[in-house]
Structure 1
Amino acid sequence: MAFTPEELAGARRLNALLNLLPRYHTDRRWNARVVQTVVRAIQFLGPDRPSHSNEVASRTITAGGRRIGLRLIRPAGTRRGLYVHFHGGAWVMGNARLDDGITRPIARDCRVLVAGIDFHNAVDDRLDLALQDSKASVEWLVDHLAEFAVERIILGGESSGAHLAAEALLHLRARGKAKAVAGFVSMCGAFDLGGSQSLQLSTGKSLVIDGPSALRNLQRLTPSLSAREAKGPLFADLSGLPSALLVAGSLDPIVDDSILMSRRWQSQGGNACCVVFPEAPHGFNRLPTNLAARANGLVRAWTSQTLDQNARGL
């Protein structure tokens, strides 16, 4: 993928501003609680109104013995499939509604029903509960596809959400239910819970998030997991999985996660693609740059193409 001088220059200007700002420390639980409280207050004061083109609904399901929230965004017209989205937030903060800026355009442009998962935020360091919610909710959705009038699923996630989406996909395969999944999408995903080389070598100078803090966050969370899951989906058997698109930023401390995950997925299944955007920090797709717009557009175009190919049996 080629990038124009204007796109790169715009990203560099914003990066210069980001460099002046403090980095977010993902291992500090007090700031996660503060951010979550502020987000909930803003969302409470701002009524949840549907857009002109899609309708939003909240639903709580019981799956795996736990109550899990779903945020459903319905497209106009016939649904081509279901896009299951896992939000980011270092596993400890965020919610599905906070990702409306990403998921509403997916529902609209790809003409899919979007189900954002409100899984357990592991501010208590119980990553195992977040993983349990992710697996149970996706399996529940697969078992209820007829209720939503769809046949195919795209699993997607951002940052820590991509990790949860990948583990949910591996769970579906183990349960013999992965055939309903047409594709997997990751944006700045985290797949090596031991810390990939780029994270191990990162410093406090990385943009947006503090690299060493992100590594310490993993060290806080992984003791709640066991066996292969404590290492991350990068170390799982990736054979027999659907096609995957992994998008990353070259300045992201966890850029190696996407690169290595794509290589292993490609070597075992021959159906993975990784696009690394230059001058792009962690979570760059949310920034006001042309590169961000291209990254989000790439995800929507890939999703539509993957659904079309799956419908034709290609």
Structure 2
Amino acid sequence: MRTELLRPGAVPSDVAAFNSAMAERFAGLPSLWEIGVEAARNGGFMPTSPPAPDAFDIVITKDVSLHVVPHPAPKAVLLHIHGGGFMLGGAGFQDAMLARMGANAQMTCVSVEYRLAPEHPYPAAWDDCEAAALWLVDNAFDRLGASKFVIAGESAGALLAVATLLRMRERGLLGRFRGAALSFGVYDSTMSPSQAQAHSGVLKARDIEKIVESYAPEAAQRRAPDLSPLYADLHGLPRALFTVGTLDAMLDDSMFMYCRWLAAGGEAEIALYPGADHGFIETPHPSARAANDRIDRFLAQCVEGL
């Protein structure tokens, strides 16, 4: 980890200009809570991409479906878990990203349509992602043409990805997973210091508190490994890439998890992007291309030789 990337002077001029333009553009816009969760879900609150022409869905339980962006000759299957604060987003909203990752790492990409809070708080999404992983273990080779997996998630999806790996380890199935690309994840539902001190930017402490109340209403549960994998036993997990911007409220989460991954004997790397805020890889941010290229290279390395 290059510590100079955390210094104020590390922010490139094009990034500073982009941040200034975005701050001006979005100043005064209503918050999620002012819009309302249902209206936000229906009104494009999160960026979406057009559907991939060859994408299709598979229903695996009454609660869970999988959105598949196929590769004609996959070496592996990417289990993708979308972000959105456990309340927004959907499996079919990121086809351009999934198609790019699939093409660059020779993978079929499968995104989980999991139940959302606040209607379905913990453990609904966790159980749905576990169900998706178990279905892939049993069916991926016959249905999708590959039997080894990597996993990826952004924000809430990164937390769910780690929790899914922990559940797979408990079932003795972790050996099927060869890598984890984890972007700006929340790994401490009791709020890490950077979360608690976030007073500007995309995610602010007051909003994070409300989000946590939505997906984890029982405060006594919030430090359990499922909800705060920062406190989990992380031994035996696959190699991981942590991607995060230095302005992100989840900066500490990624830095702490990177260190704990290493301390547990795992292989990990962290990619820090000066001046980048939460969710930047899905925006026109000047650092997005470099970050996405590194994620794709990491995933390609994980599936080499499979």
Match of 1:100 among 84, 95, 116: 95
Mean Cα deviation higher: 166-175 or 143-152: 143-152
Deviation at 1:8, TM superposition (A): 2.1
AA at the equivalent of 1:210: K
Residues 153-168 of structure 1 mapped to structure 2, 5 A cutoff = 153-168=149-164
Q: Secondary structure at the match of 2:56?
A: strand
Deviation at 1:30, TM superposition (A): 5.1
Residues 18-29 of structure 1 mapped to structure 2, 5 A cutoff = 18-20=22-24, 21-22=26-27, 25=31, 28=33
AA at the equivalent of 2:243: V
Q: Secondary structure at the match of 1:117?
A: strand
Q: TM-score normalised to the size of structure 1?
A: 0.86
Partners in 1 of 2:114 and 2:167 — Cα distance?
16
Q: Secondary structure at the match of 1:10?
A: helix
Match of 2:21 among 17, 20, 27: 17
Residues 133-172 of structure 1 mapped to structure 2, 5 A cutoff = 133-147=128-142, 148-172=144-168
Match of 2:185 among 179, 183, 189: 189
The residue that corresponds to 1:36 in the other structure is 41
Q: TM-score normalised to the size of structure 2?
A: 0.88
Match of 2:108 among 113, 138, 161: 113
Deviation at 1:136, TM superposition (A): 1.3
Structure 1, unmatched stretches of 5+, are: none
AA at the equivalent of 2:12: L
AA at the equivalent of 2:108: L
Q: How many residues align?
A: 295
Q: CA 1:105–1:6 in 2, change beyond 3 Å: closer, same or farther?
A: farther
AA at the equivalent of 1:307: V
Partners in 2 of 1:24 and 1:269 — Cα distance?
44
AA at the equivalent of 1:31: G
Partners in 1 of 2:276 and 2:104 — Cα distance?
24
Partners in 1 of 2:150 and 2:209 — Cα distance?
29
Mean Cα deviation higher: 218-227 or 164-173: 218-227
Query: Cα RMSD (Å) of the superposition?
Result: 2.6
Deviation at 1:104, TM superposition (A): 1.2
Residue pair 2:64, 2:132 contacting (<8 A) in 1 also: yes
Partners in 2 of 1:129 and 1:6 — Cα distance?
41
Partners in 2 of 1:133 and 1:160 — Cα distance?
14
* Greater than 3 Å deviation, 4+ residue runs: 22-26, 46-49, 224-227
Residues 75-86 of structure 1 mapped to structure 2, 5 A cutoff = 75-76=71-72, 78-86=73-81
Per-residue CA shift, 1:234-291, capped at 9, x if unaligned? 1110001110111001000111000001100011023011111101000011121331
The residue that corresponds to 1:221 in the other structure is 215
The residue that corresponds to 1:211 in the other structure is 205
Deviation at 1:212, TM superposition (A): 2.1
Deviation at 1:93, TM superposition (A): 0.7
The residue that corresponds to 1:275 in the other structure is 271
The residue that corresponds to 1:68 in the other structure is 64
Deviation at 1:152, TM superposition (A): 1.2
Partners in 1 of 2:165 and 2:243 — Cα distance?
18
Deviation at 1:222, TM superposition (A): 1.8
Partners in 1 of 2:51 and 2:120 — Cα distance?
30
Deviation at 1:24, TM superposition (A): 7.1
AA at the equivalent of 1:266: L
Per-residue CA shift, 1:178-213, capped at 9, x if unaligned? 11000111111111110001011111x2x2233321
Structure 2, unmatched stretches of 5+, are: none
Identity of aligned residues (%): 24
